[in-house]
Amino acid sequence: MTKDQIDIEDVNFILSEVRRVASMSPAEEKKHIEQNPNASDFLYSLRDEKTKGEYICGRQASRRLVKLAERHLDRQRELRDNIDPVRLSRRLASLLVIRFLKEAREVNKSEVQSLLSGALKQVKAEQKSLIHYIPCVVFDVFGEDQHLTAKEESKYKQFWIGPVLFCRTSDFLREHKKAIKEDLSTVCNGDAEHIKFMMNSLVKFFKGYRWVAVVSIPQCNEKISRLRAETAVQGALDILKLAFGPGQTASIRLAESLTTPADIAQVRRSSPGPFTLMTSRRWADGISISEGAFDQITNSKPFSLEAAGSALNACIDPRKEIHLSRRFLDALTWYGQAVTESMPSAKIVKYVAAWERLTITQKEEIGLTEKVTRRMAILSHLKKKGDLLNTLKEVKTIYDWRSKLMHGSSSPFDKQLLGVSSLAGQLTTTALNRSLEIFVPLAHRDKNAKESDLEAEYVRLESALLPARDQH
């Protein structure tokens, strides 16, 4: 069956499901629900975006519609990364209702191709280049009520991590609050009450955080743009976690990340006895940072910070992605999640996920554990004093704990895990920094370097640094 025939078949199935559901009597609908209690067919519909009319189609038809959108995007390589297939499916649904249900057009190759191209054209027209402003918990280098000198105002004003700018929230509100209000007034047709409500909500939320991350995303679908912005900012925050280590950076996060709420109320009572109520408010502070450390971040960035920051360009524009930068960013994501985790067992699992993303270059099952632990020992030992075999022993111990946790032979509440997770954090921090010393030269020699190139480099390092008996 050709692609065109598959498309026609999908459209016909969707239309037949709409007509089948529409033809049901109330009694038949009730019987269908009773016979299919988990089907939830009546929750899925096609929507005419102009009239807001709903046409129930059922779950299977809805799935076929999304598959139709995804398949059409796969044929448009220059567009597929920048368009949300769910948004395209909604446009398809609206046009399908108009063309085939209301206008009763014949379902044929020409009409279906016109349907697909028309929906894609509409979605393409919605693409925008956007600048996103995202509040964050980062550094606490000054108190909210502290009066800064002119020199300090300049020093603590902003800093960059790759393409992401971090500026003080107070500066952001002072510079943009008036323009935001004016633009909002235009959108709201001068509705004073609504404008006041929206601005108060904005200021209240942003003032709960000392920093705002600013990142520009090239033209794409609005939903994808926001996702790329959040991914880039989270990557920048994970790089800061890497720069300062896992011991003190667990609180660094996006404002919208799931975390303990700022306002907390706890209630309990003696048995028997009176109720006791405790309330508290937690300020969203980041790590306390010295003037010297802030200078290092803003002015004299180390190689690892610069190299890691440049990898973030792949987050904001897929055209700039290369294999080695994606590999590093994936491992960095696992690391960042591990640092934020409160459970030592979960930390270990996520740290080791970062190890595997850094080191696994071939699809294989036999000898995988040995390969990961050897390479992690090399990465976490480079330029480190002491016996490499001792580091290899530490790595194997952590990897063994991860395996026992994943396979259920150890409790996630084992008291030994606190020390194990701390060691895993130290080794992973070193390994990520050292991996850049391998990845960056490889990428400079060949920006299209793949798994095979990295495999060859790891094999060379293993031969040079590990005794022959520990290479297999």
Kindly report, residue by residue over 397-441, the tens digit of the pLDDT.
999 999 999 999 999 999 999 999 999 999 999 999 999 999 999
Task: Tell whether the model's pLDDT for residue 145 goes beyond 50.
Answer: no
Question: How many Cβ atoms are within 10 Å of 430's Cβ, its own excluded?
Answer: 19
Tokens of 332: 């960095």
C-alpha 459/C-alpha 341 separation (Å) is 33
Residues facing 161 on adjacent strands: 164
Q: Residue type at 398?
A: I
Among 123, 61, 125, 63, which Cα is nearest to 95's? 123
Query: Residue 401: left (phi > 0), alpha (psi -120 to 50), or beta?
Result: alpha
In eight-state DSSP terms, residue 40 is: -
User: What ranges in 2-148 are assigned the alpha helix state H?
Assistant: 3-22, 26-35, 59-74, 85-96, 109-125
Tell me the pLDDT of the chain averaged across its residues. Answer: 88
C-alpha 190/C-alpha 201 separation (Å) is 17
Contacts for 98 with CB less than 8 Å, ≥ 6 apart: 48, 50
Helix (H) or strand (E) holding 159: strand 158-161
In eight-state DSSP terms, residue 100 is: I
C-alpha 403/C-alpha 349 separation (Å) is 9
Q: Tell which wins on pLDDT, 340 or 287.
A: 340
Residue whose pair of structure tokens reads 């807001």 in the numeric block: 52
Each residue's pLDDT tens digit, 377-394: 999 986 556 688 899 999
Task: Tell whether the model's pLDDT for residue 270 goes beyond 90.
Answer: no
C-alpha 392/C-alpha 405 separation (Å) is 20
Cα 196 to Cα 134, 181, 188, 284, 308, distances in angstroms? 21, 9, 11, 25, 41
Average pLDDT over residues 292-319: 82
Average pLDDT over residues 168-178: 93
Contacts for 190 with CB less than 8 Å, ≥ 6 apart: none
Tokens of 12: 């016909």
Q: Are 338 and 428 in contact (CB under 8 A)?
A: yes
User: Residue 81, SS3?
Assistant: coil
pTM over 0.75: yes
Question: How many Cβ atoms are within 10 Å of 396's Cβ, its own excluded?
Answer: 17
Q: What are the percentages of helix, strand and coil residues in the chain, rounded to 5?
A: 60, 10, 30
Each residue's pLDDT tens digit, 339-363: 999 999 999 999 999 999 999 998 8
Contacts for 63 with CB less than 8 Å, ≥ 6 apart: none
Each residue's pLDDT tens digit, 6-63: 999 999 999 999 999 889 888 888 887 777 766 677 788 999 888 888 999 988 999 9
In eight-state DSSP terms, residue 209 is: S
Residue whose pair of structure tokens reads 């799935």 in the numeric block: 63
Q: At what angle do helices 323-340 and 303-311 cross, to 10 degrees?
A: 110
User: Residue 313, SS3?
Assistant: helix
End-to-end CA distance of the chain: 49
Q: Which pLDDT belongs to residue 144?
A: 44
Q: Tell which wins on pLDDT, 261 or 148.
A: 261
Q: Which pLDDT belongs to residue 140?
A: 75
Cα 465 to Cα 13, 123, 392, 418, 458, distances in angstroms? 62, 54, 12, 30, 10
Tokens of 114: 């016109």
Q: Which pLDDT belongs to residue 61?
A: 93
**What is the share, in percent, of the chain residues with pLDDT greater than 90?**
59
Tokens of 11: 């459209």
Q: Are 142 and 152 in contact (CB under 8 A)?
A: yes
Each residue's pLDDT tens digit, 181-224: 988 888 888 788 989 999 999 999 999 888 999 999 999 999 99
